[in-house]
Amino acid sequence: MSKGTVLVVTPVPRDLRDALAADWELRDHRRGDDGGWPPVPGIRVALTTSMAGADAALMDALPDLKLIACQGAGLDRIDLAAAAARGIAVANTPDVVTEDTADFGIALIYATARNVVRADRFVRDGRWASERMALSHRVAGKTVGIVGLGQIGSRLARKATGLEMTVLYTGPRAKPDAPYEYVADVADLAARVDFLVMTCPGGPATEKLVDARVLAALGPTGILINIARGSVVDEPALIAALGNGTIAGAGLDVFASEPAFDPAFLTFDNVVLQPHYATLTVETRRAIIGLLRDAIAGVPGG
Which residues belong to the active site? 229, 258, 276
Asked if residues 20 and 4 have their Cβ atoms less than 8 Å apart, the reply is no
Asked if residues 43 and 64 have their Cβ atoms less than 8 Å apart, the reply is yes
Alpha-carbon gap, residue 117 to 212, rounded angstroms: 26
Alpha-carbon gap, residue 248 to 113, rounded angstroms: 9
Provide the residue type at 131 as one letter: E
Alpha-carbon gap, residue 95 to 118, rounded angstroms: 33
The number of residues making up the chain comes to 302
Alpha-carbon gap, residue 37 to 209, rounded angstroms: 32
SS3 158: helix
